[in-house]
Amino acid sequence: MTVESWIQVWYALPVLLRGLLVNLELLLGLLALGLVVGMAVALVEVYAPRPVAAAAVAYEWFFRGVPELVLLFLFYFGPDQFGVQISAFTAAVLALGFRSSAYQSQIFRGAIQAIPAGQMLAARSLGMGRLRAIWHVVLPQALRLSLAGWSNEFSSVLKDTTLAYGIGVVEVMRQARYLTARNFRLALPAFIAVAFLFLILTYLGNWTIGLVERRLRIPGLEVRR
């Protein structure tokens, strides 16, 4: 490991950053998918009739129990078997997104169940329907309570975007591998550089979520742990 190799990596930084951008796109896609599906799964688990709720629990269990890499391969090669071509990036968003939805649904479900039953009763006593009460009274509170757990999930999936490397998405790990394939002496500085990029992103992300949390904080609605 020479000073020269560090300098070379420094000059290759734009390439790494271009790869990192792909990780961020992935992150955005999978978090959004995970949020929407996860919220739906949580609502079904809490409010839907037994058989439907049980299906949601099974869904959650499946996506929490199968390794991410296996999911990535299933989503990448699976559709192919039925004649559907799907890009590695799309497969990664779907696989990681559905997986994240299983974890997010657990966070949301916990938050929804932490809202005292009286809140729902009071909303119903005003004449609100069930859905309206969920939308105006339960969800605004549950989402706030979810932020702490959600920030954990954020840091976790941010790092997991690197697993898309496994199905050939040209993200930061792949770019680093390209770099080191030409010169194996670059491997150490290149991967350490990637590590620090992720440290920075993790800090930035948690700082932003913390900021949002403080902005949305309401007296009496703190996270009860």
Partner 1 sequence: MGLDWAWLPQLAHGLKITMELTAACMAMGAALGIVLALLRVYARGPFLPLFWLASAYVQFFRGTPLLVQLMIIHFGLPSVGIRFTPFLSGLIAMGLNTAAYQAEYFRGAIQAVKAGQMLAARSLGMTRVAAIRHVVLPQALRLALPPWSNELIYMLKYSTIVYMIGVMDLMGVARTIAARNFRFLELFSLAAVIYLGIVLLLTFALRWVERRIRVPGLGSAGRG
Partner 2 sequence: MGQLLVVEGVCKRYGAEEVLCGVSFSLEKGETKVIIGPSGTGKSTLLRCINRLTEPDRGRVWLEGMEVTAPHANINKIRSQIGFVFQDFNLFTHLTALDNVRLGLLKVKKMGRKEATERAQAELARVGLAGKADAYPAQLSGGQQQRVSIARALAMDPKLILFDEPTSALDPELIGEVLGVMVKLAHEGMTMLVVTHEMGFARSVADEIVFMERGVIVEQGPPEKLFRAPAHPRTAEFLRKISELYGEAA
Q: Give me the residues that bind partner 1 (CB under 8 A), please.
A: 1, 5, 62, 65-71, 73-74, 76-78, 80-81, 106, 110, 155, 159-160, 162-163, 165-166, 173, 176-177, 180, 184-185, 187-188, 190-192, 194-196, 198-199, 202-203, 225
Interface with partner 2 (CB under 8 A), residue from 2, 3, 219, 225:
219
**C-alpha angle 12-15-19 in degrees, rounded to nearest 5:** 140
The two tokens of residue 6 are 């560090």
Pick from 202, 177, 185, 222: nearest CA to 3: 185
Q: Which position among 87, 113, 119, 156 is part of the footprint of partner 2 (CB under 8 A)?
A: 119
Q: Which residue has the tokens 């496994």?
A: 166
Binding site partner of 205, from partner 2, partner 1, none, Cβ cut-off 5-8 A by kind = none
Q: Cα separation of 224 and 77, whole Å? A: 43
The first and second tokens of residue 24, run together, are: 């961020």
Tell me how far, at minimum, the Cβ of 148 lies from partner 2, in Å.
16
Residue 123 in the binding site for partner 2 (CB under 8 A): yes
The per-residue b/e assignment along 64-89, b for 16 or more CB within 10 angstroms, e otherwise, is eeeebeebbeebbeeeeeeeeeeebb
Q: Toward partner 2, which CB reaches closer, 88 or 107?
A: 107
Nearest distance from residue 11's CB to partner 1, in Å? 18
> Could you tell me if residue 114 is left (phi over 0), alpha (psi between -120 and 50 degrees) or otherwise beta?
alpha
Residue from the set 69, 128, 170, 187 that interacts with partner 2 by CB under 8 A: 128
Q: Does 113 bind partner 2 (CB under 8 A)?
A: no
Q: Segment 134-163, which members bind partner 2 (CB under 8 A)?
A: 136-137, 140-141, 144
Report CA-CA distances (Å) from 148 to 6, 142, 187, 203, 212. Answer: 37, 11, 36, 15, 11
Of the pair 43, 161, the CB lying nearest partner 1 is at 161
Binding site residues, partner 2, CB under 8 A: 115-116, 118-119, 121-129, 132, 136-137, 140-141, 144, 218-221
